[in-house]
Structure 1
């Protein structure tokens, strides 16, 4: 429960503004709750939403808000299901650029920052990410200053004269608990870990497979991290001695991420720790930055993958629950990287349904030309350089056994048609 009184935001916002804030664990709760409470005073605002962990924004707030986002994660799922969320299906590296090109630049940014450092500057705490570009665009930057936010090393610190209003806060930042992997996820992680050699630089997401994979890599040497999001498993890898970032070729000796999404353990590790650096999306997802990393292993997920390798990571059962996200950026980079491996890892079934399918039930978030190595609990299908016929054979081999016969029949009907 927040004890701080809500600040008055009315002097800073105008009707028609586009507003965004730090997503996920970096949400400035005092400011977002003030925005909701005072929404009738602003006319209509466009809100650009990232991952929502707090549930602050709800469907009834459409009386004064319009919602857009790149994802259906967390609380966004209810907005999407109600038909209230306008999705921007752009690769993460181009997200704000595409938004600005469409005439929807960011006018107001709400940020959660650490207390001022010895130079009087404010760390952006738990996220640099999209905030770096948004702050450059914005007319107004409002900062919630929280002594519980870690003082992290990042691409950007804010000078006091760059902040239009300061608001005090003293609550614990949002946390995301580590996932407990299922037996299927443990088997997937075992397969994925077998692909990772000493000296590899990893991009991983969150969830059971990511957690279980990183736990299996503590016997490796000189691993690196370059990822959009990192969780508590990074701390385990660092404490094991496996994570040194010594062979990255870029940001040598430093783990790089856009957002910290974990618990107090991760936040304490990152506080005043130069070994982990938070950067904006040009660095975490940009083609120029990623192209300089050797042995880049990109580990992403999907809702379903078809027999030719194209993946749907956005829609399940007609509901928008995922995102295009950074997968296109990371998978293409891993393809180009010398010794790189582009991985999509997923369970072979969801309930009784196969997630290896003849035809996608949703959009092709990742094109088949970007497909690399597909991993399920049943094995590894390396599709790189394979013809359509060979791709289908390999994909059927990693599907759930009870679905293979039907997929084989479908593949014969499809032939090798382009």
Structure 2
């Protein structure tokens, strides 16, 4: 049976964590804030630790904590950006679908897991609450599992529950989970969202990435019918569509009647809606991102954003103006899944400019996050470029047509003398 701590201030992490350990914790709204705050406060006593971070919804860690802690992540969003800018964060460039194996068995294997769980049910088992995601598999391989059981965390449906025997330490708390509220879409983002929404067919199953643009697309779908969800995350806008009867999941090939996601990313509005809701099921990354599962979903429509796209269809979703702000993430997993899905649509959407710079470019300013062989539909406020099956010259013409008009001439002049991007 686990050690049970009813007063969080009495948690002594030196009893469970050893110098040199790799520590991982649930990301975004599922971050166990009491445990991560304790880790940071006790870092000098704990010694040198390697910490794996996901998408942050808090500012628990900062560059000042790199005196004893080293940080790794697959992404540069939120407060991770400050860590990276200070040289305190190293990036693991990998597909999201690889994370469970890396953290459970691979070179990033977690020695210690910090989780936030819902209160026990009548059988004494704990729901994983706000995230199944990429840490569920590591529960079985970590040396120590420390759980913050928070009575304000929703009980969500999923195939995995944790019994007391799965836990080494239980810390009881009562505090609001971290929230991720997105800023409202501006007029340009709304125009892009309208373009994307027009591509979505009734009865489609949706995957949507993180950020203001995918959320804006969801808010344009209230006139649609019988939509489904199979995504890495579920948001406030998706909950609104479920409550409005737009997302019913009745046409899904798999998991009919249920919205499937890896984690909840939003506000208390979403958490309340998901609590004990049988129409929402959280699954581990090995299922949400599995290529065969994705390909089996008819009309899987993958909606992801990007930093820039070159004239061959290569996508940079990681680096902007020399700063690591994004991720390889799950975009390639879902774009490939949608491409293999019967009637599926692999969509990348982005504004045509960032300040005075074009985001349709001849040469990417960052890494190739998505190869041109995986290119599908690219959408800006100026239209849709369907690159599927197009040779290079035709791709060039299609992408120039959706670039900002002020940049089209310069883009044409910058091309090779052959007229075909390399």
Greater mean alpha carbon deviation, residues 94-103 or residues 313-322: 94-103
Structure 1 Cα separation of the partners of residues 97 and 83 of structure 2: 24
1:354 to 348, 351, 358: 358
- Alignment map for 1:279-358 (pairs within 5 Å): 279-358=283-362
What displacement does 1:219 show? 2.1
SS of the equivalent of 1:192 reads helix
1:159 paired residue number:
163
SS of the equivalent of 2:109 reads coil
SS of the equivalent of 2:13 reads coil
SS of the equivalent of 2:363 reads coil
1:22 aligns with 2:4: no
| Structure 1 residues 124 and 406: CA distance shift in structure 2, 3 A | same
1:191 paired residue number:
195
CA distances 1:338-367 after superposition (whole Å, capped 9, x unpaired): 100000000001111111100000000000
What displacement does 1:260 show? 0.5
| Structure 1 residues 98 and 166: CA distance shift in structure 2, 3 A | closer
Structure 2 Cα separation of the partners of residues 139 and 395 of structure 1: 50
CA distances 1:375-400 after superposition (whole Å, capped 9, x unpaired): 00111000001010000101011011
Structure 2 Cα separation of the partners of residues 399 and 73 of structure 1: 26
Q: Is 1:179–1:207's contact at 8 Å kept on the other side of the alignment?
A: no
CA distances 1:294-342 after superposition (whole Å, capped 9, x unpaired): 1000000111100111000001111111000000100000111110000
| Structure 1 residues 58 and 414: CA distance shift in structure 2, 3 A | farther
SS of the equivalent of 1:206 reads coil
SS of the equivalent of 1:309 reads coil
2:96 paired residue number:
92
Structure 1 Cα separation of the partners of residues 201 and 100 of structure 2: 35
Structure 2 Cα separation of the partners of residues 118 and 268 of structure 1: 20
What displacement does 1:414 show? 5.5
1:13 to 13, 17, 23: 17
Gapped runs of 5+ residues in structure 1? none
Query: Number of paired residues?
Result: 416
1:174 to 178, 183, 191: 178
What displacement does 1:205 show? 2.0
TM-score normalised to the size of structure 1? 0.97
Structure 1 Cα separation of the partners of residues 187 and 418 of structure 2: 33
2:376 paired residue number:
372
SS of the equivalent of 1:36 reads helix
SS of the equivalent of 2:222 reads coil
1:274 to 273, 278, 281: 278
2:262 paired residue number:
258
Q: Is 2:102–2:109's contact at 8 Å kept on the other side of the alignment?
A: no
1:64 paired residue number:
68
2:57 to 43, 48, 53: 53
Q: Is 1:72–1:80's contact at 8 Å kept on the other side of the alignment?
A: yes
1:393 to 393, 397, 400: 397
What displacement does 1:415 show? 2.4
SS of the equivalent of 1:56 reads coil
Greater mean alpha carbon deviation, residues 226-235 or residues 207-216: 207-216
Structure 1 Cα separation of the partners of residues 251 and 369 of structure 2: 31
Q: Is 2:95–2:330's contact at 8 Å kept on the other side of the alignment?
A: yes
Q: Is 1:206–1:230's contact at 8 Å kept on the other side of the alignment?
A: no
CA distances 1:156-215 after superposition (whole Å, capped 9, x unpaired): 111011110111111101111143111111110111001111110000123332222112
Structure 2 Cα separation of the partners of residues 56 and 414 of structure 1: 52
What displacement does 1:101 show? 6.3
- Alignment map for 1:216-227 (pairs within 5 Å): 216-227=220-231
CA distances 1:199-256 after superposition (whole Å, capped 9, x unpaired): 1000012333222211221222211001111210012111221111111111111001
Gapped runs of 5+ residues in structure 2? 1-6
Greater mean alpha carbon deviation, residues 293-302 or residues 216-225: 216-225
Q: Is 1:128–1:155's contact at 8 Å kept on the other side of the alignment?
A: no
Q: Is 1:182–1:208's contact at 8 Å kept on the other side of the alignment?
A: no
Structure 1 Cα separation of the partners of residues 213 and 344 of structure 2: 19
CA distances 1:38-75 after superposition (whole Å, capped 9, x unpaired): 11222211101101121111112122111111000111
SS of the equivalent of 2:18 reads coil
What displacement does 1:104 show? 2.7
